[in-house]
């Protein structure tokens, strides 16, 4: 997942397979209905982005989806939710098999989300940030009628700016706090995280969505961290100045998205909790999964938004 600097700061490995599936097929992977399979885990926030985007754009019949279980070992994510522990389309037990089919002995992270070429059984890309942008832009001819513009050209510069800040301080910020190797590194990440959450609260106090007057890629990227905040990040990653439920603007904003089709109906809190508490044994050696917190509040009515 990453490495540590001498200061104890967690540094995420951001080297991914950057091949792209495009309308013109310039990387050798043209957009084709039924050719590719999106592989995800509902536990993973980076994969959850792709799940949501696929739902919102109505690509379910064009791009199939395989779902790995919430836990994994050092080798790979596994298809333990499927009969016989084998993906019914790819015919493999571990997603690493698709990586090794293209790159024998692949040594970087075996991550989700990834997209696999069903015709060859080989992974195409695991570049999670680019995957969702390409689903919006390169797969446009297959979007459902009335599908939202999640990455509209007129807003892209602002979306990119917000996404960069949110990734640095929030999406990756919770990991920088949770995996910090020193008190100083943890304190720095903790401070940056809550400073950014305060900034987001102020921004969203005068608007319904992060950029423009519609749901965009920026909202999706923030949501997948917020929805995990009280369930895992507050306790497991020691991000405990406030719970999300104690930040009124962000809590109302997150519930607004959660109750929007394509968001909350893709969330599995059991998978989320089991992944973090069972897999991260360096942080939680016992592997015990907490019974709380009470997550029923996600269905509470949303206050009128701007």
pLDDT digits (tens, 9 = 90+) for 138-180: 999 999 999 999 999 999 999 999 999 999 999 999 999 999 9
Bridge partners (DSSP) listed for residue 125: 115
**Six-digit token string for 180:** 């910090």
Residues involved in catalysis: 44, 175
> What is the per-residue pLDDT for 14?
76
Q: Over the stretch 205-217, which tens digit does the pLDDT of each residue have?
A: 999 999 999 999 9
Taking residues 35-49, report their average pLDDT: 98
Is the pLDDT score of 79 beyond 60?
yes
> What is the per-residue pLDDT for 215?
98
Is the pLDDT score of 244 beyond 60?
yes
In this structure, the dihedral spanned by the alpha carbons of residues 274, 68, 227 and 187, taken in order and rounded to 10 degrees, is 60
Taking residues 103-116, report their average pLDDT: 95
Any idea where the domains of the chain sit in the sequence? Answer: 2-142, 153-262
Q: What is the CATH number of domain 153-262?
A: 1.20.1050.10
Kindly indicate the confidence band of residue 237, based on its pLDDT and cuts at 50, 70 and 90.
Answer: very high
**Six-digit token string for 157:** 């510069």
Topology of domain 2-142, CATH: Glutaredoxin (3.40.30)
> What is the per-residue pLDDT for 295?
96
Kindly indicate the confidence band of residue 3, based on its pLDDT and cuts at 50, 70 and 90.
Answer: low
Taking residues 25-35, report their average pLDDT: 98
Separation of alpha carbons 287 and 106, rounded Å: 29
Which candidate, 89, 128, 117, places its Cα nearest to that of 32?
117
Q: How far is CA 143 from CA 76, 84, 184, 224, 292, in A?
A: 32, 33, 47, 22, 38
**Six-digit token string for 265:** 């109906």
Mean pLDDT of the chain: 96
> What is the per-residue pLDDT for 75?
80
> What is the per-residue pLDDT for 102?
98
Q: Per the annotation, does 46 bind a ligand?
A: no
Kindly indicate the confidence band of residue 4, based on its pLDDT and cuts at 50, 70 and 90.
Answer: low
Q: Is 5 exposed, middle or buried (0-12, 13-18, 19+ CB in 10 A)?
A: exposed
Query: Tell me, what DSSP letter sits at residue 288?
Result: P
Q: 72-76, 121-125, 151-155: which range is least confident on average? A: 72-76
> What is the per-residue pLDDT for 292?
97
> What is the per-residue pLDDT for 11?
83
Q: Please write down the HEC assignment for all residues of 223-276.
A: HHHHHHHHHHHHHHCCCCCCCHHHCHHHHHHHHHHHCCCCCHHHCCHHHHHHHH
């Amino acid at each position: 997942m990453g490495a540590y600097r001498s200061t104890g700061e967690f540094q995420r490995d951001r080297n991914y397979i950057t091949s792209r599936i495009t309308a013109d097929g310039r990387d050798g992977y043209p957009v084709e209905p039924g050719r590719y399979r999106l592989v995800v885990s509902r536990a993973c926030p980076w994969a959850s982005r792709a799940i949501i985007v696929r739902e919102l754009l109505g690509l379910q019949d064009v791009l199939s989806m395989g779902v790995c279980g919430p836990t994994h070992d050092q080798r790979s994510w596994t298809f333990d939710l499927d009969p016989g522990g084998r993906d019914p389309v790819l015919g493999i037990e571990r997603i690493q098999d698709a990586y090794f089919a293209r790159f024998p002995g692949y040594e970087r992270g075996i991550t989700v989300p990834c997209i696999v070429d069903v015709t060859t059984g080989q992974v195409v890309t695991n570049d999670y940030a680019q995957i969702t942008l390409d689903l919006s832009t390169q797969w446009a001819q297959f979007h459902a009628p009335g599908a939202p513009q999640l990455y509209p050209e007129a807003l892209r510069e602002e979306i990119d700016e917000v996404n960069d800040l949110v990734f640095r301080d929030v999406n990756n910020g919770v990991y920088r706090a949770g995996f910090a190797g020193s008190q100083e590194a943890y304190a720095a990440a903790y401070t940056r995280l809550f400073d950014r959450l305060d900034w987001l609260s102020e921004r969203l106090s005068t608007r319904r969505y992060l950029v423009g007057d519609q749901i965009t890629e920026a909202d999706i990227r923030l949501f997948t961290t917020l929805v995990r905040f009280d369930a895992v990040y507050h306790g497991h990653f020691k991000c405990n100045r406030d719970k999300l439920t104690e930040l009124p603007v962000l809590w109302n904003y997150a519930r607004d998205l959660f109750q929007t089709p394509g968001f909350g109906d893709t969330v599995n809190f059991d998978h989320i909790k089991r992944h973090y508490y069972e897999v991260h044994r360096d942080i939680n050696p016992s592997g015990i999964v907490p019974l709380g917190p009470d997550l029923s509040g996600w269905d509470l009515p949303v206050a009128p938004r701007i």
